[in-house]
Structure 1
């Protein structure tokens, strides 16, 4: 039998596991759990994974509040820090491109 080393198996398994602190929302109400957008005004329970089980964290009023609780808005950068969006090449962004994927000019 061709067994993989334990450290490789553990790394592969760790990649499949949820990270502690991951959150999800479930709809509170009667009936089967359905797609969240079908009943946007129903209250939601926010759950957080602690590494072993889902733990109740809080309740929110509706779908929009649940979306905010699951992905809070990032705080703005301090005014003394400049924001970078990518590498600066010093070229004019409106200049004609010369990459291989471009059509040659006549």
Structure 2
């Protein structure tokens, strides 16, 4: 087994200290995706290196995104990613000339 040195693990852990996340406050089974219940209030949590601790509160998903990503100004609208064009991989048959 290839274990990394403890010092490298500690550096990776310390890089995440201060990271924020928003958790929807809805009844049900545990944490859910952020796109679900966009109008539900959010608990803003901060990683302290060992556990997520309460940091703040947001009224809805839009406000939570403004707290989590202040440098973005406005977060991009959620939606499906654009579909790529037809593939050109080796498994594709070449198009016949017209």
Range into which the TM-score falls when normalised by the shorter chain: 0.5 to 0.7
Residues 1-16 of structure 1: pairs in structure 2 closer than 5 A: 9-16=5-12
Distance 1:60 1:3 in 2: 42
TM-score computed with the length of structure 2 as normaliser? 0.59
Which of 10, 33, 50 does residue 52 from structure 1 map onto? 50
| Structure 1 residue 74, shift from structure 2 partner | 6.7
Aligned alpha-carbon RMSD (Å): 2.8
Aligned to 1:24, the other structure's residue is in SS state: strand
Distance 2:52 2:40 in 1: 21
Which of 13, 36, 39 does residue 37 from structure 2 map onto? 39
1:27 aligns with 24
Question: How many residues are paired up?
Answer: 71
Deviations 1:41-64 (A, max 9, x none): 000000001122211011100011
After superposition, the Cα gap between the structure-2 partners of 1:68 and 1:3, relative to the gap in structure 1 and judged at 3 Å, is: closer
- Could you list the runs of 5+ residues in structure 1 that have no partner in the other structure? 76-106
- Could you list the runs of 5+ residues in structure 2 that have no partner in the other structure? 74-98
Deviation beyond 4 Å, 4+ runs, structure 1: none
Which is greater in Rg? 1
